[in-house]
Amino acid sequence: MFRYLGFILIGVMAVGLTGAIGFVLVGGVAERLTCHPVAHVTVFDGIGTVGGDPPRIRAMFNGPTGSQPLESPWFLVRFPEGWTRWVWVYPHGLARTNGPANLASGQHRFSAGTPEVYPRLDVINEATAWIWPADARVAWIDADALVPAEAVADVTARPGPPPEGLREAVDALKTLAGLCRPVYLVTRPPREYAATRRRLAAWGTPGGPAFWVTPDRVPGRLEGLKGVWPTVGGAVVASDALAGRVEALGVTVSRVPPAEALAERAASADAWRRVRARLTDRKPTSRNPRR
């Protein structure tokens, strides 16, 4: 009889131990989900020159409250060549550092996210470091002229079909890309920046960095861009405010309607034809953007 009672006692203890383990595991998962709200990281394209300064790496971490949402204020930047670096995240969510030096000319994909000791699948993203010669001839393209605001209203959505009238703009940019390498100026908030970059790629625009022009530091960011590639063949701008900032740096501005007006195909196509004719002409042109 005592033998049977022993078996029963062992069985009860096994069931209890299994329940305790399950409670701890489920509780741990619940704690991870409840104590660490879902976050998001936007990693911005970096730019640099062959044999010059390394690309500047920037990332923005956002949580539901907008504050620093990570349990650790550190994250890792990783390049496929094996280069890694720990980076500090400031309380407002912005992080920045220099990338690897002596990168070859071309595109270098890299990632930024939490380290393996703090795995967070919601806090990892990728961007590209664009390395071109210091004397590369570039053209600045206002992303607001190509991607309508409503197209990025849902930052998590996949890119839909391009807006009507975009084909004329893309054709003009492809012609322009034969003479100038395009640099897309994105003046939108971080998550809209990422959505804008996805749409530029999905809609067939010529390859080039999506350069984040921080909304509260427009002049400084444009000066920094010009310092990396000073030979600017011209700028295609839709925004009045941005046009003034660009002209202040001595860059010739060509005006086009904002992307919301691409549906007005006749006027939009005419504006982009003027851009193509103006920026592919090597001869000096008037500084008047209306001509």
* Topology adopted by domain 40-132: Immunoglobulin-like (2.60.40)
Question: What's the pLDDT at 289?
Answer: 38
Q: How far apart are CA 269 and CA 71, in angstroms?
A: 50
**Position 6 pLDDT exceeds 80:** no
* Topology adopted by domain 138-279: Rossmann fold (3.40.50)
10 Å CB burial of residue 63 (0-12, 13-18, 19+) is: middle
- Whether 130 contacts 103, CB under 8 Å: no
Question: What's the pLDDT at 120?
Answer: 64
**Position 5 pLDDT exceeds 90:** no
Question: What's the pLDDT at 121?
Answer: 58
Share of the chain above pLDDT 90, in %: 54
Q: How far apart are CA 78 and CA 135, in angstroms?
A: 28
Rounded average pLDDT over 123-127: 88
- pTM attached to this predicted model: 0.82
Question: What's the pLDDT at 113?
Answer: 84
The SS3 of residue 76 is strand
Q: How far apart are CA 83 and CA 108, in angstroms?
A: 12
Amino acid at 177: A
- What residue segments make up the domains of the chain, in order of their start? 40-132, 138-279
| 211-267 confidence digits (pLDDT tens) | 999 988 999 999 999 999 999 999 999 999 999 999 999 999 999 999 998 878 888
**Position 193 pLDDT exceeds 90:** yes
